[in-house]
Amino acid sequence: MEHSLLVNACVYLAAAVIAVPLSKRLGMGAVLGYLLAGILIGPAGFGLIGQAEDALHFAEFGVVLLLFLIGLELEPTRLWALRRPIFGWGGAQVALVTAVLFGAALLAGIGWKLALIAGLGLSLSSTAIALASLEERNLMPTPAGQASFSILLFQDIAAIPMIAIVPLLGIPESAGGGGNAWIALVKVIVVLAGLVIGGRFLVRPLLRFIAKTDAREIFTAFALLLVIAISLLMQSVGVSMALGAFMAGVLLADSEYRHALETDLEPFKGLLLGLFFIAVGMSVDFAVFLARPGIVLGLVAGFLVLKTGVLYALSRLFGMARGQHLQFALILSQGGEFAFVVFGAAATAHVFSDEVASILVVVVALSMVVTPLMLMAWDRLSARRQGAKRPDRADEIEPNEDHVIIAGFGRFGQIVGRFLNVSGVKLTVLDHDPDQVDVLRRFGFKVFYGDATRADLMRAAGAAKARALVVAIDDIEDSLALVEAVRRDYPALTIFARARNVTHYYQLMDRGVHLIERETFEAAVKLGRSVLTAGLGQSAYRTRQTADKFRKYNLQNILAVYPYYKDRDTYVSMAKRGRDELETMIARDRKAVDEETGQDWD
Partner 1 sequence: MTAPTILILYAHPAPQRSPVNRRLAEAARAVSGVAVQDLYELYPDFNIDAEHERSLLGAAHLVVFLHPIRWYGMPSILKEWMDVVLRPGWAYGGGPDGGTHALRGKGFWLVTSTGSGLDAFQPGGLHGHPFDAFLLPIRQVARLCGMDWLAPLVMHGSADASEAAIDAHVHEFTRRLTGYADAVLLPEAVHGA
**Nearer to partner 1 among residue 444 and residue 598 (C-beta):** 598
Residue nearer to partner 1 on the CB measure, 236 or 539: 539
Please report, for residues 110, 305, 552, the alpha-carbon distance to residue 591 in angstroms, rounded to integers and kept in the order given.
Answer: 89, 76, 17
What whole-number distance in Å separates Cα of residue 131 and Cα of residue 336? 12
| Least gap, CB of 561 to partner 1 (angstroms) | 29
Q: Judged by CB under 8 A, which of 2, 173, 395, 602 binds partner 1?
A: 602
Q: Per CB under 8 A, does 255 bind partner 1?
A: no
Going edge to edge, which strands form the sheet with 515-518?
Answer: 446-449, 427-431, 403-407, 466-471, 494-499, 515-518
Question: How near is the Cβ of 531 to partner 1 at its closest, in Å?
Answer: 14
Task: Name the residue among 474, 371, 457 with its Cα closest to residue 133.
Answer: 371
Q: Which of residues 559-598 bind partner 1 (CB under 8 A)?
A: 596-598
- Rounded to the nearest whole angstrom, what is the least distance from the CB of residue 496 to partner 1 in the complex? 22
- Of these, 317, 540, 555, 592, which contacts partner 1 (CB under 8 A)? 540
Q: Helix H segments across 26-51?
A: 29-41
**Interface map 486-525 toward partner 1 (x if CB under 8 A):** ----------------------------------------
d(CA 437, CA 594): 53
Contact (Cβ atoms closer than 8 angstroms) between residue 569 and residue 575:
no
Give me the half-sphere count of Cα atoms (radius 13 Å) on the Cβ side of residue 401: 4
Among 4, 541, 568, 569, binds partner 1 (CB under 8 A): 541
Least Å distance, CB 515 to partner 1, is 22
- Phi and psi angles of residue 439, each rounded to the nearest 5 degrees, phi first: -60, -45
Options 268-276, 338-346, 502-510, 537-545: segment touching partner 1 (CB under 8 A): 537-545
String of DSSP letters for 352-417: S-HHHHHHHHHHHHHHHHHHHHHHHHHHHHHHHHHHTTSS-TT-TTTT-SSEEEEE--SHHHHHHH
Binding mask 70-109 for partner 1 (x = CB under 8 A): ----------------------------------------
By the rule CB under 8 A, 601 interacts with partner 1? yes
CA dihedral 70, 73, 77, 80 (to 10 degrees): -20
Going through 500-562 in order, the beta strands assigned E by DSSP cover: 515-518
Q: Does 528 bind partner 1 (CB under 8 A)?
A: no
The distance of closest approach from Cβ of residue 526 to partner 1 in the complex, given in angstroms and rounded to an integer, is: 10
- Can you tell me which of 113, 544, 549, 577 binds partner 1, judged by CB under 8 A? 544
Please give the Cα distance from 506 to 204 (Å, whole number).
32
- DSSP state letter for 401: S
Taking the complex as a whole, how short is the minimal distance between the CB of residue 599 and partner 1, in angstroms?
Answer: 6
Q: Is the dihedral of CA 328, 369, 113, 188 positive or negative?
A: negative
**Cβ nearer to partner 1, comparing 137 with 529:** 529
589 CB-contact burial (10 Å; exposed 0-12 / middle 13-18 / buried 19+):
middle
Nearer to partner 1, 543 or 570 (CB): 543
Within the chain, how many helices (H) and strands (E) appear?
27, 6
Compose the 18-47 pattern: x for residues touching partner 1 by CB under 8 A, - for all others.
------------------------------
Verify binding: residue 423, partner 1, rule CB under 8 A.
no
* Residue placing its CB nearer to partner 1 in the complex, 3 or 542: 542
Pick one of 543, 554, 556, 570: the residue that binds partner 1 (CB under 8 A). Answer: 543
Specify the residue, 392 or 602, whose C-beta has the smaller distance to partner 1: 602
Nearest approach in angstroms of CB 548 to partner 1 is: 10
The residue (of 217 and 602) whose beta carbon lies closer to partner 1 is: 602
Q: Is 599 in the site for partner 1 (CB under 8 A)?
A: yes
| Number of residues that this document lists for the chain | 602
The SS3 assignment for 115 reads helix
Please, what sign has the CA dihedral across residues 416, 418, 421, 426?
positive
Q: Of the two residues 217 and 600, which places its CB atom closer to partner 1 in the complex?
A: 600
Residue 597: CB minimum distance to partner 1, A: 7
Q: Across the chain, which distance is largest between two alpha carbons, in Å? A: 103
Beta carbons of 49 and 252 less than 8 angstroms apart = no
What's the one-letter identity of residue 98? T
Of the residues 353, 501, 539, 573, which one makes contact with partner 1 according to CB under 8 A: 539
Short-list 386, 382, 308, 284, CA closest to 123:
308
Number of residues that bind partner 1 (CB under 8 A): 15
- 3-class secondary structure, 516: strand
Shortest Å, Cβ 601 to partner 1: 5
User: Least Å distance between CB 530 and partner 1?
Assistant: 11
- Which segment (115-123, 235-243, 408-416, 542-550) binds partner 1 by CB under 8 A? 542-550
Residues in contact with partner 1 by the rule CB under 8 A = 529, 533, 539-544, 596-602
